[in-house]
Structure 1
């Protein structure tokens, strides 16, 4: 039976690719890359550079155009599930073009705020393509953020709450420390209080990595300005941050 490798490749630095990931990549004959459009071509380019550095010999790269979706829907769960279904059809069609084993290179880790595994399960449920799959963990942007700032994610004996920008706006900070991902709305500006510390990072592991740290009220304007300028220059941004009371 053919195999599909779902491989976490880290937050952007090719040196974050693990030996387990390299071995899996070398077993694959074709790589499926979900493209995000011309403005995010750099994300595809990083994957291409990783393949060029670690994979010997001939291999196919099949780029899958990511289907569009409503970014602010009334029915968030329903819209995302529909998006996953449409992604699954595209992956199924791509895998049907391949005779041997395939692989998907996943930004960060497949287990944390990524839809790839749900997409793969949907392909299997459809029953048109039969295969087994294996998941290779990767360095998350959360780990990359903590390493870049040289900070422990939690204080002694305290929990870490990982959430999204949307949930931060709806529910506020969790107990202990709060890590926020997928925040296109700069939701930290809506967190009340003058005693919150933030560790923020964008393009982690990449040459143009940006790091800002300090009291939230004192540095939030700097984050907003740097974030807006970087997004305008590159056409995209991926950032993550840690919040904790001082």
Structure 2
């Protein structure tokens, strides 16, 4: 019985040079890349992210050696609101989105020649705040041809941030806490109330800069922030949270307005 090889490849924070040699080798084996197409609303954000992915491929693969199939991505519905008070609704919204995405990928795979190698491109590293592996595992249960899934790690956004800022993400012997903007404030306050030492806190997926809510009670926190790491439009800021958070918000908004999308990450300590 034939088996289809599938590569899930971490492509770093945006710079084509972030790819490891292992990742480039995996890309060269792929015949068809499946890319979630979020352009149903015609947003510049979606177009920019798609262009960034295709730029990574163009940097490492000869023209005509691969195909990109854009798979319409289902809407996220209630899950996209990420309301801390409605965690159950948020989780169910994400699960429904994953189920719909799984079905669409399975339909596309079943329409491809079984001998074709398929690839999925993952921003950063597939192990951090990305569900491609979960979705591919679910796809494997639905498709006619069994999948041989291989995962290639990539440079995560917080690794790229630490390098760009020239800092270490932990003090000697201390922990690092990685979380999302949706959870930052409640986790930070709960830790302080319980006398727990989180160490430096790395915050991902925070389009609203939740750290603003900490200015009143922890203005002397240091923030190390970076956007579009490794790309020409990269911006870095660091300093006392109360002093730089407004500037960070302005810079973030400018990048989004100029380029149609922005990905950023920051650390607090």
Shorter-chain TM-score tier: over 0.9
RMSD: 1.5
Q: 2:11 — aligned with what?
A: 9
Q: 1:161 — aligned with what?
A: 177
Task: State whether structure 2 residue 184 is matched by structure 1 residue 181.
Answer: no
1:168 Cα offset (Å): 0.5
Q: 2:218 — aligned with what?
A: 193
Q: TM-score, normalised by structure 2?
A: 0.86
Secondary structure, counterpart of 1:31 in structure 2: strand
* In structure 1, C-alpha distance between the alignment counterparts of 2:15 and 2:150, rounded to whole Å: 23
Gaps of 5+ in 1: none
* In structure 2, C-alpha distance between the alignment counterparts of 1:97 and 1:126, rounded to whole Å: 13
Task: State whether structure 2 residue 71 is matched by structure 1 residue 64.
Answer: yes
Residues 15 and 56 of structure 2 are in contact (CA less than 8 Å); yes or no, is this contact kept in structure 1?
A: no
Q: What is the CA deviation profile of residues 9-34 of structure 1, one whole-angstrom value per residue up to 9, with x for unaligned ones? A: 10000111111011111111111111
Matches within 5 A, 1:71-220: 71-72=80-81, 74=86, 75-99=89-113, 100-172=116-188, 175-191=198-214, 192-220=217-245
Question: What is the total number of aligned residue pairs between the two structures?
Answer: 244
* In structure 2, C-alpha distance between the alignment counterparts of 1:235 and 1:45, rounded to whole Å: 11
Q: TM-score, normalised by structure 1?
A: 0.94
Q: What is the CA deviation profile of residues 179-208 of structure 1, one whole-angstrom value per residue up to 9, with x for unaligned ones? A: 000012210101131220000011111110
1:127 Cα offset (Å): 4.5
1:231 Cα offset (Å): 1.8
Runs ≥4 residues deviating over 6 A: none
Gaps of 5+ in 2: 192-197
